[in-house]
């Protein structure tokens, strides 16, 4: 097996089988792609689609979001999960306006310098929005490369520099072809070479896959221990944030007290929201979403 053969097979498969997703429409632009990449972090496509459409309808470019408040970004994020992403996305929009005249930059170093934009997102935007040659490595890509190239049943828990090198070696020299290959690797891992139920007979590289050749079985059990939600601080944070998100002014402490009976856990969750920059106190007894306008009369308790 040669690397070009592997890459060519996956790229051809992608061109015929890629999911029809709106952020893949040719010419969609860097901002919609950046928004999609932030939303897709730890969140399935089916939940992202309506949120992405709503977000881009309201804020079609970075300047529109930068002109709005962090509170509105949190509200618009709704129940998508991990709401700090909403604040970081707005911070990113502000930086794009201030540093780049409202245009998402096309240089990797400039993308990496934006607040809330990490290695994966920066490379994804550079590749998928601007057609550049960069290894775009997420969990799906690492699994595909680990199996097909290294012959291992699964990849490690986090992306390493070695993963970036291994993926870059697989990319064609021509930038547009490399960007296509990066998307193809990701798609293959997402819908065919999955963690626990890989559809090997449907895989375009089954015949050249080092893992299949080794005869190893797929790992059993979950890739990671499922995170408990009920009764956790995360659930309490979500309940508190829901009250504040639905409010039109500062919310009195007494109203938040009704969300959860455990005083200690509720206080800890509220303090965490304040520390994370999602909520701010108003006076001594009221709270609101961060940057949610001037203080007004609090809502009834």
- Cite the active site residues: 37
Name the DSSP letter for residue 148: I
| Residue 27: CB atoms within 10 Å | 4
Query: Any residues with CB less than 8 A from the CB of 47 and at least 6 apart, and which?
Result: 80, 81
Report, in this order, helix, strand and coil percent for the chain, each rounded to 5: 55, 5, 40
Query: Any residues with CB less than 8 A from the CB of 149 and at least 6 apart, and which?
Result: 3, 6, 166, 170, 210
- Is residue 240 a contact partner of residue 271, using CB atoms and an 8 Å limit? no
CA distances from 178 to 96, 120, 125, 141, 277 (A): 26, 16, 13, 14, 38
């Amino acid at each position: 097996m040669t690397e070009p053969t592997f890459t060519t097979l996956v790229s051809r498969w992608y061109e015929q089988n890629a999911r029809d997703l709106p952020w893949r429409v040719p010419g969609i632009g860097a901002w919609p792609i950046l928004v999609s990449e932030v939303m897709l972090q730890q969140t399935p496509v089916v939940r992202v689609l309506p949120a992405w459409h709503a977000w881009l309808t309201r804020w079609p470019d970075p300047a529109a979001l930068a002109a709005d408040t962090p509170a509105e970004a949190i509200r618009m994020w709704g129940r998508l999960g991990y709401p700090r992403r909403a604040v970081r996305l707005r911070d990113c929009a502000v930086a794009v306006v201030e540093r780049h005249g409202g245009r998402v930059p096309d240089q990797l170093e400039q993308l990496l310098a934006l607040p809330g934009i990490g290695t994966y997102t920066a490379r994804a935007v550079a590749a998928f929005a601007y057609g550049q040659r960069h290894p775009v490595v997420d969990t799906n890509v690492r699994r595909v490369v680990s199996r097909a190239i290294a012959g291992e049943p699964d990849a490690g828990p986090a992306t390493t520099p070695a993963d970036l090198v291994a993926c870059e070696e697989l990319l064609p020299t021509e930038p547009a072809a490399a960007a296509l290959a990066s998307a193809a690797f990701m798609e293959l891992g997402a819908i065919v070479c999955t963690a626990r139920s890989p559809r090997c007979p449907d895989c375009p590289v089954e015949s050249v896959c080092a893992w299949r050749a080794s005869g190893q079985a797929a790992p059993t059990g979950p890739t990671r221990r499922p995170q408990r939600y009920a009764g956790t601080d995360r659930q309490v944070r979500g309940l508190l944030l829901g009250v504040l998100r639905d409010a039109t002014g500062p919310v009195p402490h007494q109203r938040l007290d009704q969300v959860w009976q455990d005083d200690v856990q509720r206080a800890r969750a509220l303090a965490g929201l304040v520390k994370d920059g999602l909520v701010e106190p108003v006076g001594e007894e009221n709270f609101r979403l961060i940057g949610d306008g001037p203080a007004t009369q609090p809502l009834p308790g």
